[in-house]
Amino acid sequence: MAASGGLMFGYDVGISGGVTSMPHFQKKFFPAVYRKTQEPGLESNYCKYENQGLQVFTSSLYLAALISTFIASYTTRSLGRTKLIAGIFFVVGAVFNGAVIPSHAYHWEDLAWLQFRFSFRKLHQQEVEGHLTSSSNSINITIGILFANLINYGTNKITGGYGWRVSLGLAGIPAGLLTLGSLVVVDTPNSLIERGKLEEGKAVLKRIRGVDNVDPEFLEIVEASRVAKERS
């Protein structure tokens, strides 16, 4: 579940690159780029896609991620259980991507991805922390890009000019699974303890570790939470 956020992010990255090269998408949103791609004798892709508006569109995914970092960290710290909210944002973003101007919806999906990643911090055991947060996430980003390229290859052949909408809207399938999965994922002990729910945090910690004696780690989390509040 934690690494599925990387899968969604990889899908967004791959889809945006493929969609911007689809003729029907270019004609609808970037007609100047489309005219360049149809010019005879113009072989350089750099010359074809040299357009500031197109560059702003492709960059909006990363700019939104930067801005959303501040929002996601605040909501996660304040509300704690934001995994369901993140899943809903993903679904809303997929609907907007398929129905309206895509650049407006990427902000929703970036916010959701970051909220989902923040909410899983330190939920897993320390000895596998690096594996979950680094290796699995990187692999899932790559898989997401691969799926996006395969989908773009197929939707680009759809007649009628709506293939790009299918590519963007298909993000709703994994987004729906993410939303359903978030219903069964417990809140993190860190988040519960930070919000003063000590007993609930300790109970979740026991469930995660599979043992009853979690007092040393529990007290460590409580102390870390206290120090963090004093410094904030």
Higher pLDDT, 52 or 133: 52
Same domain? For 17 and 75 the reply is: yes
Residue listed under structure tokens 């029907």:
24
Tell me, what's the pLDDT at 124?
A: 41
Tell me, what's the pLDDT at 92?
A: 78
Average pLDDT over residues 176-190: 78
Tell me, what's the pLDDT at 3?
A: 59
Same domain? For 160 and 213 the reply is: no
pLDDT digits (tens, 9 = 90+) for 70-102: 777 677 667 665 567 767 777 777 777 777 654
Same domain? For 128 and 194 the reply is: no
Higher pLDDT, 169 or 174: 169
Same domain? For 40 and 146 the reply is: yes
The DSSP secondary-structure symbol of 211 reads S
Whole-angstrom distance, CA of residue 74 vs CA of residue 215: 28
Q: Is the pLDDT of residue 169 over 80?
A: yes
Assign 108 a pLDDT band (cuts: 50, 70, 90). Answer: very low
Neighbour-count burial of 217, counting CB atoms closer than 10 A to its CB (0-12 exposed, 13-18 middle, 19+ buried): middle
Same domain? For 123 and 219 the reply is: no
Same domain? For 198 and 109 the reply is: no
Tell me, what's the pLDDT at 81?
A: 55
Same domain? For 168 and 194 the reply is: no
Tell me, what's the pLDDT at 111?
A: 45
Same domain? For 44 and 155 the reply is: yes
Say if CB 152 and CB 19 are below 8 A apart.
yes
Percent of the chain whose predicted confidence (pLDDT) is above 70: 75
Domain that residue 121 falls in: 4-185
Q: Which of 118, 102, 95, 99 is nearest to 187 (CA)?
A: 118
Instruction: Indicate the range of 4-18, 46-60, 74-88, 107-121 predicted with least confidence.
Output: 107-121
Same domain? For 86 and 20 the reply is: yes
The dihedral over CA atoms of 208, 212, 217, 223, expressed in degrees to the nearest 10, equals 110
Same domain? For 53 and 25 the reply is: yes
Average pLDDT over residues 151-178: 85
Give how many domains the chain has, as a whole number.
2
Tell me, what's the pLDDT at 82?
A: 58
Same domain? For 102 and 198 the reply is: no
Same domain? For 72 and 23 the reply is: yes
Higher pLDDT, 77 or 149: 149
CA neighbours within 13 Å on the CB side: how many for 53?
A: 8
CATH of the domain at 23: 1.20.1250.20
